[in-house]
């Protein structure tokens, strides 16, 4: 079992797993009983430069753009129901393929069509993000989100970031009432 983090905590992944070259980031959640209207949460990743802005719009990985042009970040596919055990969606990151300008990769989840459906993260429980060594499947880090996010329709769960030659993971847990569009705008994505 990996390091369990609380909000703001971080861990060096490359010190935990020397020679680490690629990770799989799994995001998961369960839904509270609602009015019966279906929920569709979507995981996304943003590859950011040193200023905290998206490298190019094609470095915003989500259900409509499953891969960065360089292949450094790849979404494994959209789970529209969240049904089943384990990770609901996964995103793979290959550190050696990321552009040299990539300093961070932020991971978010948003509720699709949240405003028209009257849905928010207050109706989501057991949300988490975890980082797995792609080589052997070992869990290196995990962050279980516990904050009350009753108004938020999107959240940045965590981020990978470069520290010299090391890659680290930070638990973020920042909510957005403005949905995925708010996250995209904060990170400089043209939508």
Residue 122 pLDDT class (50, 70, 90 cuts): confident
Quote the DSSP letter at residue 187: T
What is the spatial distance between Cα 98 and Cα 105, in angstroms, rounded to a whole number? Answer: 10
Tens-place pLDDT, residues 170-191: 999 898 988 888 999 999 998 7
Q: Answer whether residue 82 shows pLDDT above 70.
A: no
Quick one: fold of 3-186?
A: Lipoxygenase-1 (2.60.60)
Q: Answer whether residue 85 shows pLDDT above 80.
A: no
Supply the pTM of this predicted model. 0.91
């Amino acid at each position: 079992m990996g390091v369990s983090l609380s909000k703001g905590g971080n861990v060096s992944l490359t010190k935990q797993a020397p020679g680490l070259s690629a990770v799989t980031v799994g995001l998961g959640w369960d839904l509270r009983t609602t009015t019966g209207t279906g929920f569709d949460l979507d995981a996304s990743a943003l590859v950011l430069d040193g200023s905290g802005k998206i490298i190019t719009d094609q470095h915003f990985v989500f259900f409509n753009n499953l891969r960065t042009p360089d292949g450094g970040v790849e979404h494994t596919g959209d789970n529209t129901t969240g049904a089943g055990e384990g990770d609901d969606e996964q995103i793979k990151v290959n550190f050696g393929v990321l552009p040299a300008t990539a300093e961070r990769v932020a991971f978010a989840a948003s509720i699709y069509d949240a405003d028209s459906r009257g849905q928010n993260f207050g109706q989501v429980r057991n949300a988490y993000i975890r980082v797995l060594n792609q080589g052997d499947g070992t869990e290196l880090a995990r962050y279980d989100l516990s904050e009350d996010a009753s108004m938020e329709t999107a959240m940045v769960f965590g981020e990978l970031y470069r520290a010299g030659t090391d890659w680290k993971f930070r638990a973020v847990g920042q909510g957005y009432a403005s949905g995925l569009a708010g996250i995209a705008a904060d990170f400089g994505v043209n939508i």
